[in-house]
Chain A
Amino acid sequence: MGRTIKIDPVSRIEGHAHITLHLDDAGNIDDAKFHLTQFRGFEKFCEGRPFPEMPALTARTCGICPVSHLVASSKACDHLLSVTIPPTAANLRRVMNLAQLIQSHALSYFHLSSADLLLGMDADPKSRNLFGLLKVDPQLAKDGIRLRQIGQTIIEMLGGKKIHPGWMVPGGVSGPLSEESRTTMLAMIPEGLDIAGRTFESFKDLIGKFPEEIDHFGNFPTMFLSLITPTGGLEHYDGFFRIKDAEGKIVQDRVPLEECQRIIGEAVEPYSYMKFPYYLPMGYPDGIYRVGPLARLNNCDFCGTKQADQALDEFRALQHDRPVSSSFHFHFARLVEIIFGLERMKELLESPHILDTRVRARARGNNDEGIGVAEAPRGTLIHHYKTDDEGLITWANLIIATGHNNLAMNRGIKQAAEYFVDGNDLQEGMLNRVEAVIRCYDPCLSCASHAFGQMPLRIELHDCQGNVVDQIVREG
């Protein structure tokens, strides 16, 4: 008798979703699907609004990644204004974007995933969380909280607010950086780098314990999409698109950001509200690619800062002859990016013009179509707007970082389920592994559905008629 197992909601991710595992008569995995069940239609709200409101408006898509939306939206508005913003403004936006990267990666690694890694995938779910972590490794838990706080503090100092700072505006930023804030920010960076360094070292000791997870947590060939600097370096704010294939061959390079529609298509599936972007020239679903920290490190030729470049060498050593293919190594890539973020932020804050007061270009809407692209912690984020002659939004489309990974997440849970789940003897640890695959990608479903959501988890086994035959429920 064929059956379905449902994991609902998936826990320790940002948003609300569930997983169904479909079993065949013999109890083996037949298929697996990741369902996003909420929908807000944020793009519709934006229609008719004046475009300068878009950064603040779209930042409300999400309480987790508002800064990423501010960056992409402000850039789309710069495009509508047809201006080149003052270099200091661009650098200040970069600082905020990196601060967001650091705090978000810290949240993902320390708060959401390290419990699995330290306590084990089969540990009692009651203690397999941040509180359990505090008991076994209080230093790591404290480090995570502190690192996150460093990122949050920098965001707050720039934007005046931790969660929804309104300081990034069309044409630049609304105010310059003060000497005093710069000094305070710079003073936190060595501590951040200490934490990042020791976490990276301890993580490398841990990964030896997870050979099976590394092999089966979304370990398959896909392309990778990310931004790169004009010289091929790691980039989070601007630059060009690069796409590499699973063998490491560059498929597309130096694609201008405004040309995203030439390389990215979006498909929809009836079982999820999250769209399925794919590499357009290869069609759907063959054009599967991954974005985010794993893709960025696979794609770039170098990071461009000292410690991060050393860490990048170690990342490359995970898989010598080709890009790193296991989604388990998103964690590894995240830790490398935290190091990079801190080093790069230091460079930017120490650069001679960072205190310049010219931080905004003024213009009216000069284009009726604007595209803004940036790397959010979870991957490439695209805001695309069209306006009428008077600057009111007539159409908006947001391609969300998490969405790009949708195909890969679905394939990843199937692979993990096939390997770890025995439908005839359902164990919590098996299902936790399936969920942990999703956590590797650190999806933000709040963004992906443009929907509000909080979460806990339910896993259901269905027979082939769709009747629930078994279930595991736990609170979020």
Chain B
Amino acid sequence: MTHPPVASNPGPKVRVVTLKIDDHDVGARETDSILEIAHANGIRIPALCYLDGLSTWGACRLCMVEIEGVSKPVSACSTTASEGMKITTNSERLKRYRRMILELLFAERNHVCSVCVSNGHCELQDLAAECGMDHVRVPYRNATYNIDSSHDLFRVDHNRCVVCTRCVRVCDEIEGAHTWDVMGRGVNCQVITDLNQPWGDSQSCTSCGKCVQVCPTGALVKKGTAAGEMEKHDDFVPYLAQMRKRQ
């Protein structure tokens, strides 16, 4: 990845702004994203592709919020604060849009949670529950994506991938290996290792497992895990990101 972290890298002279999120008066640095400000103030905004410590991607659109005077919703993770903003995080319209996005994610690939290794520890599943997505109104595509089980320790099951690119970013920005990248468009878009070679043959992969830990779903998993056994821990990311900055 070439672009630096957008929102979380304050320069030397940052101004402080005041704004309103859901009727809470909050103060923040003008370089902070709405999502960061909300989370720092205990206001929950659903998010999927965003991960604290990684660059902002702005792909999933689940974090969208409304700003007074702006007709279209904006993504909270990639929009910085400005003085006097009035933000709504949870209007009926936003709820409807979020449910729709989740339905499309579930319908695009194969998410059969009950037999998934990530069942019970999955961010996508949790988001569905949080946003009240209890059924899918669009037809399932029932397409078959491939599974690459060639790596000694890990496996990627593209059937469960939501193309959030967290794996791509953590591998590039934190581990420095840049094994992962993105290929294709639309429903054919998928993450690849090296030049679309089997993960097990990758020359760049250091087998650190960071991508597995940040993957929000059952797409990247440790081998040998049975249904519901894949628990992930991504709290190392902000810490490592801080350490990188100090150097």
**Residues in chain A within 8 A of chain B (CB atoms):** 48-50, 52-53, 55-57, 60, 164, 166, 169-170, 174, 362-364, 390-392
Note all chain B residues with C-beta closer than 8 A to A48: 144, 147
Residues of A within 8 A of B117 (CB): 52-53
Separation of A169 and B225 alpha carbons in the complex (Å): 9
Max chain B Cβ within 10 angstroms of own Cβ: one of A53, A60, A174, A362: A53
CB-defined contacts of B147 to chain A, threshold 8 Å: 48-50, 392
Q: Which residues of B contact A60 (CB under 8 A)?
A: 114-115
Query: Does more than half of chain A's interface fall in helix, strand or loop, or is it mixed?
Result: loop
B146 smallest CB distance to A (angstroms): 8
The 0/1 profile, CB within 8 Å of A marked 1, for residues 228-240 of chain B is: 1100000000000
CA separation between A53 and B228, bound complex, in Å?
9
- 3 smallest beta-carbon distances between A and B, as pairs: A56-B227, A390-B149, A169-B226
A166 touches B228 (CB 8 A): yes
CB of A349 to closest CB in B, whole Å: 24
Given contacts A50-B155, A53-B115, A392-B147, contact A166 B224 (CB under 8 A): no
- Does B223 touch A at the CB level, under 8 Å? yes
- CB-CB under 8 A from B155, the residues of chain A are 50
Additional A-B contact list (11), CB under 8 Å, known A50-B147, A56-B115, A60-B115: A49-B147, A52-B226, A53-B115, A53-B226, A55-B227, A166-B226, A166-B227, A174-B226, A174-B229, A390-B149, A391-B149
Assess the B149–A50 pair: CB atoms within 8 A: yes
Distance, CA A49 to CA B116, complexed state (A): 11
Name the one of A166, A362, A364, A390 contacting B150, with C-beta atoms under 8 angstroms: A390
B 94-121 binary contact with A (CB < 8 Å = 1; else 0): 0000000000000000000011010100
Total interface residues in chain B, CB < 8 Å: 18
A48 to B144, CA, bound (A): 10
B218, closest chain A residue (CB): A53
Q: Given that A48-B147, A169-B229 are contacting pairs, would A56 and B114 also be in contact in the complex, using a CB cutoff of 8 Å?
A: yes
Q: How far apart are A291's CB and chain B's nearest CB, in angstroms?
A: 28
Q: Would A56 and B228 count as touching, CB distance under 8 A?
A: yes
The B interface is mostly helix, strand or loop, or mixed, namely loop
Flag if A53 contacts B223 (CB, 8 Å). no
A52 / chain B contacts, CB cutoff of 8 Å: 117, 223-226
- A56 contacts B223, CB within 8 Å? no
Interface residues, chain B, with chain A CB atoms under 8 Å away: 114-115, 117, 119, 144, 147, 149-150, 155, 157, 200, 223-229
Chain B residue with Cβ nearest A49: B147
- What residues of B have a CB within 8 angstroms of the CB of A362 in the complex? 224
Q: Which of chain B's residues has its CB closest to A81's CB?
A: B224
B224-A164 in contact (CB<8A): no
Complexed CA–CA distance, A53 and B117 (Å): 7
Q: Which residue of A lies closest to B144 (CB)?
A: A48
Give A43 Cβ to nearest chain B Cβ, in Å.
Answer: 15
Whether A57 lies near B225 (C-beta < 8 A) is no
Instruction: Tell me the minimal C-beta distance from B108 to chain A in angstroms.
Output: 18
Chain A residue numbers with a CB within 8 Å of B150 are 390
* A221 and B226 alpha carbons, distance in the complex (Å): 44
Could you write out 13 A-B pairs with CB less than 8 Å apart?
A: A49-B147, A50-B147, A56-B114, A56-B115, A56-B227, A60-B114, A166-B119, A166-B227, A169-B226, A170-B224, A170-B226, A391-B149, A392-B149
**A residues less than 8 Å from B224 (CB atoms):** 52, 170, 362-364
CA distance A52 to B115 in the complex (A): 10
Q: Closest chain A residue to B148 by CB distance?
A: A390
Q: How far is the CB of A395 from chain B (nearest CB, A)?
A: 16
| Minimal beta-carbon separation of A93 from chain B (angstroms) | 14
Separation in Å of the B119 CB from the closest CB of chain A? 8
- B115, B117, B147 — most chain A CB neighbours (10 Å): B115
For A363, give the chain B residue with the smallest CB separation: B224
Q: How far is the CA of A440 from the CA of B147 in the complex (A)?
A: 44
B155 to A, closest residue via Cβ: A50
Cβ contact within 8 Å between B149 and A53 = no
Docked Cα-Cα span, A46 to B119, in Å, equals 18
**A48 CA / B159 CA spacing, docked (Å):** 11
Residue of B nearest to A170 (CB): B226
Cα A49 to Cα B149 with chains together (Å)? 10
